[in-house]
Structure 1
Amino acid sequence: MVKVKLTVSLLIMLLSFNGFTQDRIIQFQKISFEDGISDNRINNILQDNEGFIWFGTQLGIDKYDGQKSKSYHLPNEDDQVNDLIQDRTGVIWAATSSGLFYFDVEEDRFERYTSSDPVINSSISGYILSLLEVDNGAIWCTNANSEIIALQPNSKKDTVIHEMPLEESNNSISNGTDLFQDNNGVVWIASSRGDVFKYQESTFTQVNLQNNNTYINAISMDKNDQLWIGTNGNGLFKYNTKDNTTLHYTTSNNSRSNSISNNIILDVLVDKDNNIWLGTDGGGLNLYQPDENKFYTFKQNTYTNFPIADNTILSIYQGTNNIIWIGTVHGGVSYFKNHITISHIPPSVLAFDQIDEQGSQILEASNGDIWITAGRNGLRRYNPQNGKVTVYINNPDKDDDLSGNNVISLFEDNYERIWIGTYSGGLNVFDTKSNTFLNAEDRFQCKAIFAIASDTENNIWVGSSTGIKVYNSDLKIVRTFTSENTKNLNANFITSLYNDIKGDMWVGTNLGLNVFKTDTVLSFKSDKTDPYSLSSNRIRSITEDDDLSILIGTYGHGLNRYERSNNKFTRVGKDKGLEASIIGGVFMDHDKNIWCSTNLGMSKIKPDGTVENFGLRYGVQSYKGGSAIITKSNHILMGGRLGLSYFKASELEENNTGTSKMFFTSGTILGANGTRDLIINSRGNNQITLNPEDHILSIHYSSSDYWNPKKNNYAYKLEGLNKDWQIIGNQQALTFSNLKPGTYSLKVNSAKNIDQDETSIAVIGITVLPSFWQKSWVKAVIVLFGVFLVIVFIRFRLSTIKKQQERLQLLVASKTEVIKTQQEKVYQGEIALLKVEKDNQDLNQKKLIEDLNFKTEELTNYTLRTVHKNHLLTEIKDNLLKASKETTPKKANLKKIIHLIDDSLMLDDDWENFYHLFNQIHTNFIKNLKSYCPQLSDREIRLCALIKLNFNSQHIATLFNISLSSVKVARHRLRKKLNIAGNDSFEDFFETLI
């Protein structure tokens, strides 16, 4: 029983999204009057070998380079362009209502083709319907006279005219309306009366189509040798050339039928992938995919941001880079990248009756149903098998229905119950088995429920703006977590929940990230100073990669990857290729690719780390509050105002088919006489010549990839000036000023192809002509003339120098005699001055000696007076002793003592005079002595001065009025205080102080 149930589930997954309501999405871009083209009616489209796009209109032919358009008018104002081709030599041919024209690249205009055969000229001067270059290089064209003309432009042998066969029944003829040559060399001709002919080995064979006598507008052949024939009112025919069988496709009134949208098929294209594209009259663009045997229709609508420009398609053309171009009647040109991998269910099918930019939350239930929110208008349950849609909205008069129309989260538990979180209506639980809403505990207490998840115990975690409530299987609350009762919980505003493989619950908030483990709650926050922290605290989505790292999407700061091994976050942003900054959803597909639902669409991170971005140009809806999901069948679903879009995850790839070829579009030269425009040769053999008076050269260029020109990055190098490629981003113009005379080669390429592909390079030669003075022969003449002048100058200078040397020698001899005489006089004067100076020195020395002797004598006299003073003191002392022995001192003795004291006082000033004279003879002695030993007393300084004057111990004892033994003691103490060694004398020590 389990196996049966599994098989049924698998079958449901495989059949999912193949119901009748599905559609395909193509995002069209547009070129119209606003882009400079001359007419919005586009009869024909051609992309030439260089990459230019040519549009045939009723007003002439336009050449478009991605930046601007240039119009080429034909001779007659009412000429209509019916067909455009480019032959193998690069010549562009135009079939018009007034004849055959070719593009003259040298003259930059269309010229009428004329043949040397007047009969051929007559045949190609009127209405030309279609053109074809056949294998031998001949140009075939059909005219309104039922002729097929084979032209040989290179050999001018335009002699072959093929008449269209007669109709056997009424002998009527028809015109060839379209030509096609298959891989076997067979030329197929469509006719105006509804027949198809094949021309092989100079023989016409008619192919009878069943039930068709209608004008055939276009024919083409697919890879299975089946001829596709579009008629002017009888629908589409498929003719099998192998078994000559025919299938006829027409429109049907049954909206569920698999059919074309209009019976008037104006053009048919078989693309490189063998898809058949049909341009209809009012029915839009039809696509037939042989592997599905299914038709898709693309018309103007309201459920895509980039619809087709018009529903009447005149021409379809596949250019380079897998771009398909569509010419319309009223809307100009529409074009798209041929990657039809995204299917679509229109909003009307899902009962989206309210236009709301809010994106959808989507859930794939276990039974295969798709639950999708309808903006602020409730919830939808979509059955992919039968297309049935069930609408759930809040009815104020009922209590058992959906509460709250703004659904912002969905989750299915193990009991197949759908948990529905609303913004203001609380929590809803829908039982899919009983098709009833259940009543969960405190269901209305939860506001803004952004996240719902299940833990390893099958409890349901409901994250809202007021914290987390955990419900058991009975819909009872078993735990509540808030920042008030849970340590480390960053905030109560819960934005995402994810239960990882270890059973830990990751909780995203608007203030950081938390991890609920068994016994603790971890907190992570953004730190601007730490590059290994979260890039932002505003968490929007969480999932787990194949290597068990945790991926965290933020609001405004890209994607983060948490590495469990080092407990660090690494950031994935624009530097890694992820263009978007808001990551609304993250999930992994079956091929281990990580998909991010972003504000710019979807981004895929491959296992090797490369990033591919898919936006509106791919038909991918962007994150606007909703989020994309991955289904069990590896489909990615995304929804919103435009309905439900989905695609196989393995099929959506960045479509870079083909190499973008660079080409030069225009140029200007600014010279002394003003600005002149350059005519860029579309054949690629360009050569630009700059005259000496030309100062600035500007070159414009473009790429053959017109799909997203803002993402085209370019590189260039100017050989002759530099050897390395210079990457210049999206810049599409180069300016060079004051180039030196010489030959240069300017090369432009796509920045991504500079090392891989040489075929995509655009090359143009630049020759800068020299001015008259820069010409080689002029430079040679100037050099020779300069050499001649140098030689003449040298000879003249040598002669002049020789004469000057002779005059100089005579002058030197004369001056030498004068100098000798003057030197003798100077010598004599110097000798006299030296003698006078010597006499002055002798006198000064004699005067100094006399002064020294005088001062020495004075010092000696002062010293003797000091001795006298000491005698007086001794006498005073003796008289006092004698007086003290007398009973009554005698008056005469007292007067004598007073007189002696006065004499002694008069001698106290003698030491000051002694110091003054001593300092004049020995200037710095006392100063240096005090500096050397500040502890010396005045008596010790006097002792040093007397020793310096060579006084003996007897004189010193007399001056100090002490005994000789006391002098010895004083000299010994002084030696110790001055730290004089025992073998050194005072005289030697005092010499060191000078």
Structure 2
Amino acid sequence: MQFQNITFEDGISDSRIEHVIQDKKGFVWIATRLGIDRYNGQNIKSYKFLQEKQAGTNTMLQTQKGNILVATTRGLFIFDAKKDLFELLKSEDSVLNTHLNSNIHTIIQLKNGKLLCGNANGTVFSLSFEENDGNVKHQMLNFSNGSNSNHPSSIFQDTKGTIWMGTSQGDLFVFNEKEFLNTTFSKYNHNTYINDITADSNGKLWIGTKGNGLFNFDVNTNEVKQYKKQLNNNDNISESINNNFVICLYADKNDNIWIGTDGGGLNLYKNKKNKFYYFQSDSNNKFSISDNAILHISPGEDNIIWTATVHGGLSYFKNNISLYNIPPSKLGIRNKDKQGSRILESKNGDLWLTAGRNGLRRYNRRTGKVTVFISDPNNKSGLSGNNILSLYEDNQNRIWIGTLYGGLNILEPKTGTFLKAENWSGLKAVFAIEKDGNGNIWVGSNSGVTVYNNNLKIINTYTVGSNIGLSSNVITCMFKDVKDDMWVGTAKGLNVFKQGKFKSYLPKKEDSTSLSGSRILSIAEDDDLSILVGTYGYGLNRYFRNSDNFKRIGQEKGLKATFIRGLFLDDEKNIWCSTNLGLSKITPAGMVQNFNSYDGIEPFNNNKAELGHNGYIYMAGNFGITYFKAEDLANNYSKDHNVFFTNISLINKNGIKEAPFKNYLENYKLILPPDNVMFTLRFTTSNYWDPKNISYKYKLEGLHETWQNIGNNKTLSFSNLNPGDYSLKIKAFNREGLESTHIATLNIYASPSFWEKTWVKISLLLSFIAIIFGFVKWRVSTIKKQKQNLNILINQKTKLVEAQNRKIYQNNIDLLNAEKANQQLKQKQLENELNFKTNELTNRTLREIHKNNLLDKIKDDISKVAKQNKDSKSLKSIVTLIDNTLNLDKDWDDFYNLFQQVQPSFIKNLLKESPKITDRDIKLCALIHLNFSSQHIATLFGISESSVKVARHRLRKKLKIEENQTFKEFFERLTTHAAT
């Protein structure tokens, strides 16, 4: 078993512990000669009794309602949680007070709630009191043969309600509802002090005495069996106790009797095996019990057992007795080498194990005989090589032994002789030996695979250079599956041998479906025929045959180990992994259970656990051989750990101070002062065994809506909380991820500052409203007076403004009239100018018409003369010259320029309306717009009037002038639209 200890270094006030109990909330109360220590997993608080009392503690008790009672040499004390101290229990009855102030040796609480006390004066009395108001009542019980020299030393009530009492003179009394009567046991004990009494599930009493050993008393048959120390009883297992001074007893729920002795350490009696086991202090083993003198044994939470010692403080351990151990002393193992041992259970039941670097051991479990095999250079027929790496039993019951430097050894158990296989000495670092489907033995070393037949002859060798696909010559493990395929793990990948060749699997970067690591440590086959592969530093893989890929398994369920040194399946199809952290079990549903040194399972270093016959799992190392039934090893960690607060520190502007925190009080409420800047809370759990594997979540209601994960951190800090009520809740998770049903709750009230208090806020609000109301009222009055004055001023200003406005208005009228006259003058000037231009244009056009008419008449006269004159060439040239003169456009250019001055936008608007009209059309439109007659137009164009009529008609179509619309109306509309 693994023990943990609480000593001076942890803060206890005395190394001698008289009594220990763990209360319902999880606190551990430790009774010493100096007073009581209360341990919460983080720190210890000491309570001293009144100095004048100088009381030494005898025993402690937690009542059904949770009160802590301490029986001392100077009376009975009770813990007052509100005052945070122990007070002497008192009564108004003077006789009872005498007994309450006496040396009370023993106290128990009966099933009916009454307390039964026995003191050094030989008095037995019962107490009943309301624990809330302290009203104490009592009843004296008759005690036959009672005297000062024969006082009650131990009182016990069994499961049937029967009350038993042991005395200082070795008598055993039973209470018959009226008085205590002596039993037949007294004649067996020979007046030896009875230290303690307990009972097993069969109703038999176990009685520990001061020097006369241990007794088993059958109350039905009055048969008594005595267990006393046997001569030369030096082993860790025997038929009796190892010390006759039995100080304390405890019967657990599995019917095991735990026995505290004065010098013999802790003894364990297993009823089912009828054997005693001993656990003693060992200065070389930090996990041993701290002292061999034990004063009290007490059960705690989470299957922990507490032991109070004389010199070693407090020791405690997990009550996990499903593990069995054969110590190294029985196996001839003396060294403390950390290299683990390989172990093999042969078909005849013998256990073969390597002794680190010290050879081989054969242990016969039936006889306990150990055979030692050690390499001797002078013995050529003996074991060759002491550093053994692998063991295997073949069909002929021969033991194959692979060594680091000594080659391959084969032992014939019947004769004890070693056989020499072919090239046995050439094989180094033989880590793996396995049988194939044909019965041949595969031996894996650092030079590849060597295959032997039953005659120890080599029939095959497989190496990297043989062109069959082996990925490495360094063979680390081998396994034959149900299909007779041979799986070979190497220092560089996994190989499977099929049809005469190896197929290799290696890790691929950024491919999660490939092998996780290249160095393979272990191989097994799951129930679904998938292949399990353990790696060196990269966890566990599962190979799927159908998809030909890998998947990492167990990590998401809690398999934290990365070195998987061994793999096998038990009868329930659970996968067992030997890892660098201990043993891990993966159930068929995928749940992971981890077992480590706190469970008695050491980490595996170059060794692994093996599944033997009848469901036993074996492990070996410098601790000897440990074995257990696969179905018996289960996590006995309760998930219902109590979480409780241990300390609160308040930080204000002046520094840090501890809060007056009494976390064992019901409905305790933390009041934060107004000047609080930050506060820190520390908490822990009642799991004293493995606290580092407990994680926590918290939620501060009023601030958080969801749970916050903080891992194993046991400290929380909050700063600058707004005034108001909060509720801090904390819950724990064990190492398997199971959530505790218990939630620790601390109510917190953040006090407001003076200015944040409600009545101050209301007063300030009312004052503010009053001020506002007064201000408004004053303001309204002021505004009213100002309004009256303003009205007077406005009337005055209005009259002045009106006079000024009239003057300004008249000035504006005069100015406008002058502007209007000026505009009219300009308009008249423009009209005169336009009329002048129009007249000039018309006159110029008329002159052009007159010129053209004159030229036309001259042309006609010359034409007539030319007809009469035969020699008329010169006349005809004159006529041609006149025609050219009539067709010149220069006059038209002058016309256009002048027209543009008179009508600057006419032609532009005309082209915008009808972009396809010709220059001749534009000229015609200009003449029509100037009101020229058809005759004048005909003269200007040199055409007849009828042709002008036709031209006007065509122009109307081009301009899309409606039939009832004149050219004048069209031109006016054109000018209006353009202006718009």
Tell me the TM-score normalized by structure 2. Answer: 0.79
Alignment of 1:435-446 (within 5 A): 435-446=416-427
Out of 697, 703, 707, which is 2:679 matched to?
697
Q: Give the conservation status (yes or no) of the 8 Å contact 2:694–2:734.
A: no
Supply the distance in 2 between the matched residues of 1:104 and 1:389 (Cα, whole angstroms): 60
Out of 51, 60, 63, which is 2:35 matched to?
60
Aligned to 1:954: none
Aligned to 2:765: 783
Q: CA deviation at 1:815?
A: 7.2
- Cα 1:558–1:759 shift into 2, 3 Å: closer
- Partner secondary structure for residue 55 of structure 1: strand
1:736 aligned to 2:718? yes
Q: Give the conservation status (yes or no) of the 8 Å contact 1:462–1:468.
A: yes
Output one character per residue of 1:468-519: Cα deviation in whole Å (capped at 9) or x when no partner: 1111122111111111113432211111111111121111111111111114
1:600 aligned to 2:581? yes
| One-letter amino acid matched to 1:711 | N
Aligned to 1:714: 696
Q: CA deviation at 1:202?
A: 1.7
- Cα 1:186–1:813 shift into 2, 3 Å: farther
Out of 50, 56, 60, which is 1:80 matched to?
56
Supply the distance in 1 between the matched residues of 2:814 and 2:173 (Cα, whole angstroms): 131
Q: Give the conservation status (yes or no) of the 8 Å contact 1:669–1:678.
A: no
Supply the distance in 2 between the matched residues of 1:396 and 1:356 (Cα, whole angstroms): 22
- Partner secondary structure for residue 575 of structure 1: helix
Q: CA deviation at 1:725?
A: 3.1
| One-letter amino acid matched to 1:383 | N
Q: CA deviation at 1:112?
A: 1.5
Supply the distance in 1 between the matched residues of 2:435 and 2:84 (Cα, whole angstroms): 71
Out of 276, 280, 288, which is 2:257 matched to?
276
| One-letter amino acid matched to 1:748 | I
Q: CA deviation at 1:48?
A: 1.4
Aligned to 2:168: 192
1:773 aligned to 2:773? no
Q: CA deviation at 1:678?
A: 1.7
Output one character per residue of 1:359-379: Cα deviation in whole Å (capped at 9) or x when no partner: 111112122221100111111
Out of 4, 7, 25, which is 1:32 matched to?
7
Aligned to 1:201: 177
Alignment of 1:671-686 (within 5 A): 671-672=652-653, 674=655, 675-686=657-668
Q: Give the conservation status (yes or no) of the 8 Å contact 1:322–1:658.
A: no
Supply the distance in 1 between the matched residues of 2:771 and 2:804 (Cα, whole angstroms): 42
Aligned to 1:628: 609
Q: Give the conservation status (yes or no) of the 8 Å contact 1:504–1:518.
A: no
| One-letter amino acid matched to 2:291 | D
- Cα 1:343–1:794 shift into 2, 3 Å: same
Output one character per residue of 1:387-410: Cα deviation in whole Å (capped at 9) or x when no partner: 111111111012111111111011
1:264 aligned to 2:239? no
Alignment of 1:883-894 (within 5 A): none
1:495 aligned to 2:476? yes
Q: Give the conservation status (yes or no) of the 8 Å contact 1:303–1:641.
A: no
- Partner secondary structure for residue 330 of structure 2: coil
Aligned to 2:886: none
Q: Give the conservation status (yes or no) of the 8 Å contact 1:668–1:678.
A: no
Q: Give the conservation status (yes or no) of the 8 Å contact 1:279–1:314.
A: yes
Aligned to 1:162: 141
Supply the distance in 1 between the matched residues of 2:404 and 2:712 (Cα, whole angstroms): 44
1:234 aligned to 2:216? no
- Partner secondary structure for residue 362 of structure 2: strand
Q: CA deviation at 1:65?
A: 0.1
Q: CA deviation at 1:795?
A: 5.2
| Structure 1: segments with no counterpart, 5+ residues | 1-25, 847-994
Supply the distance in 1 between the matched residues of 2:301 and 2:430 (Cα, whole angstroms): 49
Output one character per residue of 1:523-561: Cα deviation in whole Å (capped at 9) or x when no partner: 111123111111111111111011111111111111111
1:70 aligned to 2:45? yes
Alignment of 1:213-224 (within 5 A): 213-224=191-202
Output one character per residue of 1:596-653: Cα deviation in whole Å (capped at 9) or x when no partner: 1111111111111010111111111221111110012111111111111111111000
Aligned alpha-carbon RMSD (Å): 3.5
Q: Give the conservation status (yes or no) of the 8 Å contact 1:279–1:315.
A: yes
Q: CA deviation at 1:522?
A: 1.2
Q: CA deviation at 1:139?
A: 2.4
Q: Give the conservation status (yes or no) of the 8 Å contact 2:693–2:734.
A: no
Q: CA deviation at 1:440?
A: 0.9
- Cα 1:794–1:388 shift into 2, 3 Å: same
- Partner secondary structure for residue 497 of structure 1: strand
How many residues are paired up?
824
Q: CA deviation at 1:190?
A: 1.2
Aligned to 1:252: 230
| One-letter amino acid matched to 2:281 | Q
- Cα 1:792–1:605 shift into 2, 3 Å: same
Q: Give the conservation status (yes or no) of the 8 Å contact 1:56–1:81.
A: yes
| One-letter amino acid matched to 1:211 | Y
| One-letter amino acid matched to 1:603 | S
- Partner secondary structure for residue 760 of structure 1: strand
- Cα 1:815–1:279 shift into 2, 3 Å: farther
Q: Give the conservation status (yes or no) of the 8 Å contact 2:639–2:733.
A: no
Alignment of 1:233-632 (within 5 A): 233-253=211-231, 255=233, 257-301=238-282, 306-572=287-553, 574-632=555-613
- Partner secondary structure for residue 96 of structure 2: helix
Q: Give the conservation status (yes or no) of the 8 Å contact 1:727–1:751.
A: no
Output one character per residue of 1:143-182: Cα deviation in whole Å (capped at 9) or x when no partner: 1111113223326344423353217xxx885111111122
- Cα 1:305–1:456 shift into 2, 3 Å: farther
Q: Give the conservation status (yes or no) of the 8 Å contact 2:554–2:586.
A: no
1:653 aligned to 2:624? no
Supply the distance in 2 between the matched residues of 1:545 and 1:816 (Cα, whole angstroms): 112
Q: CA deviation at 1:244?
A: 2.4
Q: CA deviation at 1:337?
A: 1.2
1:135 aligned to 2:111? yes
Supply the distance in 1 between the matched residues of 2:474 and 2:815 (Cα, whole angstroms): 110
Q: Give the conservation status (yes or no) of the 8 Å contact 1:182–1:221.
A: yes
Q: Give the conservation status (yes or no) of the 8 Å contact 2:440–2:454.
A: yes
Supply the distance in 2 between the matched residues of 1:729 and 1:52 (Cα, whole angstroms): 22
Supply the distance in 2 between the matched residues of 1:635 and 1:755 (Cα, whole angstroms): 28
Most deviating of 115-124 and 739-748: 739-748
| One-letter amino acid matched to 1:241 | V
| One-letter amino acid matched to 2:617 | I
Structure possessing the higher relative contact order (Cα contacts under 8 Å, 6 or more residues apart): 1
Q: Give the conservation status (yes or no) of the 8 Å contact 1:80–1:96.
A: yes
Aligned to 1:948: none
Q: CA deviation at 1:254?
A: 5.2
1:174 aligned to 2:136? no
Q: CA deviation at 1:811?
A: 6.8
Alignment of 1:712-861 (within 5 A): 712-751=694-733, 760-794=742-776, 821=808, 824=812
Supply the distance in 1 between the matched residues of 2:658 and 2:558 (Cα, whole angstroms): 42
